[in-house]
Amino acid sequence: MKNIVYLFFVLFSCFSCSEKPITVHLKGQLKGMVPAEVMRYNGTASMIGDSRDILIHTDENGYFDTIIELKKSEYFSISRNTLYLTPGDDLELVITENNQEATFSGIGAEANNYMKKRLFPKGGSFLEAGRYVRADFVRTKVTVDSLAEERRNELAGLKKVSPEFKKMEEARITADVVNSYISYASYRKDVCFDWQAYQRATPEEQEKINEEQQKLRDAHLIAVAPELNRLYKTLTDTLFLNVAVVRDVLSYFGEDQYGWFEGIELPERTKELYEAADKVEALRQAITATTVNDAKDFIAKAKYQDVVTEVRHKADQAGKLVEGQPAIDIMMTDVDGNVKRLSDFRGKVIYMDLWATWCGPCIQESPFFETLSKKYEGKDIVFLPVSTDSRATTWKSYLKVHHKDLPQYISQDQALKDGWCVRYIPRFILIDRDFKIVNAYAPRPSEEGIEDLLNSIL
């Protein structure tokens, strides 16, 4: 009997030792961020959904200690920081909104210290918002290629990372080069012009300038096509879809007019991902029975489970935002710190403006929103400006300088993301007196037809 017990213990111990870890331990501080910060999943399916995002709760000083379940290595992001997490990682970290300031120590630190230097596609990748644009493309290309080689050498020197990580990060470098070559068309010095002079020009003069600029861009994008085609051929592995900038540059496939993808056939999984993205984008533009049903039809024929999961999640969310559905309640705070709920305004038509102090288009819509509200004074409608700023102090400082007649509110309620599916602003929402949705993506106050719509409800 003792021998049997001993044998069982040995077998159990061996099984336990061979079992792969399925958790990641994260401990540290998120400086200057909100008490409930979202760690966004940034892998392949993040292109279409956010069901795998993780909420990190911190104390008043930003400290946290958490364990997350993770079946395989994945990319995540916190603010502008990109993380690469692997089951078994035990990381101590300090993160701010400046990715270069992040610090990592412990198991998994090497990969994440490398990721601190990740480039940003919207800045033109290696062009870094024009910093490395030279007098012409030939010299700019030399600079870009040199910077890319430095990054490759740094990647090759990593010792405690997986071969898979190195393959994906090599693809990131290539995609950043592709993005840099393409972005040069907008950053080149002969395309940039005096914006103030352009604004003073007549519409006919502006149209001529636009045509001349487009000709210069087109000439560059055609000239660089053979080089882009060579690089694109190295980016078709579906593993590389985990890398955001690879997904970005592959998105040009369906609208290629310059020959960048000549002779290139994308894998079935890649095509399905972009088709899914189109279905989800349709839901973000207009939630109707048609767009919801189109998404459900796609789900029925889709082959890849992670794609299906995200599209289904978005379709389910959208189904709750169709006209006539109960409005989703949120908590918000006024400038004096008083807590209100959206449902407190039940009994009146609600026209809500979701905005932020950093959002240029939001700021442009604000005067229209205030002007429109004055037209409906005394009517059974409330105009509700709700800031989505992460810091109330930033919002209050802005309001001290920019006077507003309407009562102002701020909300960081997770229901904005999970319920109302707010992924971009400005966003306008229209709710009727019975607290039911009229339009979850309502027209902007500057758009024609908004008054007719409001009048029809009133």
Candidate from 35-44, 101-110, 258-267, 350-359 with smallest mean pLDDT: 35-44
Whether 302 is in a domain gets the answer: yes
Tell me, yes or no, whether 382 and 356 share the same domain: yes
Full domain range(s) for residue 447? 331-457
Tell me, yes or no, whether 306 and 350 share the same domain: no
| 80 CB burial (10 A radius; 0-12, 13-18, 19+) | middle
Which residue, chain included where needed, has tokens 């306008």?
428
Which residue, chain included where needed, has tokens 């920081």?
81
3-state secondary structure of 9: helix
Tell me, yes or no, whether 294 and 404 share the same domain: no
Tell me, yes or no, whether 242 and 287 share the same domain: no
Q: What is the CATH number of the domain that holds 378?
A: 3.40.30.10
Residue 13: the pLDDT is: 44
| pLDDT > 80? residue 399 | yes
Tell me which of 286, 319, 352 is where a domain ends. 319
| pLDDT > 60? residue 9 | no
As a whole-number percent, the residues of the chain with pLDDT over 90 amount to 74
Tell me, yes or no, whether 295 and 164 share the same domain: no
Round to whole Å and give the CA distance between 421 and 178: 32
Average model confidence (pLDDT) across the chain? 91
Whether 174 is in a domain gets the answer: yes
pLDDT band at 390 (very low <50, low <70, confident <90, very high): confident
Whether 9 is in a domain gets the answer: no
Residue 197: the pLDDT is: 73
Which two tokens mark 16? Answer: 């336990």
| pLDDT > 50? residue 264 | yes
Q: What is the CATH number of the domain that holds 40?
A: 2.60.40.4150
The mean pLDDT of 224-230, rounded to a whole number, is 97
Residue 193: the pLDDT is: 57
The mean pLDDT of 417-440, rounded to a whole number, is 93
| pLDDT > 50? residue 377 | yes
Tell me, yes or no, whether 142 and 249 share the same domain: yes
pLDDT band at 148 (very low <50, low <70, confident <90, very high): very high
pLDDT band at 192 (very low <50, low <70, confident <90, very high): low
| pLDDT > 80? residue 269 | yes
Whether 273 is in a domain gets the answer: no
Tell me, yes or no, whether 134 and 254 share the same domain: yes
Tell me, yes or no, whether 172 and 307 share the same domain: no
Tell me which of 219, 243, 265 is where a domain ends. 265
Tell me, yes or no, whether 178 and 239 share the same domain: yes
Residue 195: the pLDDT is: 64
Whether 5 is in a domain gets the answer: no
Is residue 189 within 8 A of residue 135, CB to CB? The reply is yes
Whether 340 is in a domain gets the answer: yes
Tell me, yes or no, whether 143 and 208 share the same domain: yes
| pLDDT > 50? residue 1 | no
Tell me, yes or no, whether 89 and 208 share the same domain: no
Tell me, yes or no, whether 382 and 449 share the same domain: yes
Whether 13 is in a domain gets the answer: no
Q: Cis peptide before 426, with omega less than 30 degrees from 0? A: yes
Whether 14 is in a domain gets the answer: no
The mean pLDDT of 210-220, rounded to a whole number, is 88
Element (H, E) at 27: strand 23-30
Round to whole Å and give the CA distance between 25 and 46: 22
Round to whole Å and give the CA distance between 231 and 173: 11
Candidate from 17-31, 106-120, 133-147, 286-300 with smallest mean pLDDT: 17-31
pLDDT band at 7 (very low <50, low <70, confident <90, very high): very low
Domain count of the chain?
4
Round to whole Å and give the CA distance between 451 and 457: 10
Short-list 98, 95, 105, CA closest to 56: 95
Helix 225-232 and helix 203-223, axial crossing angle in degrees, nearest 10: 60
| pLDDT > 50? residue 6 | no
Tell me which of 222, 242, 265 is where a domain ends. 265
Model confidence pLDDT, tens digit, residues 282-341: 988 888 888 889 999 999 999 999 999 999 999 998 889 989 999 999 999 999 999 999
Model confidence pLDDT, tens digit, residues 25-59: 999 999 988 777 889 999 999 999 988 999 999 99
| pLDDT > 90? residue 268 | yes
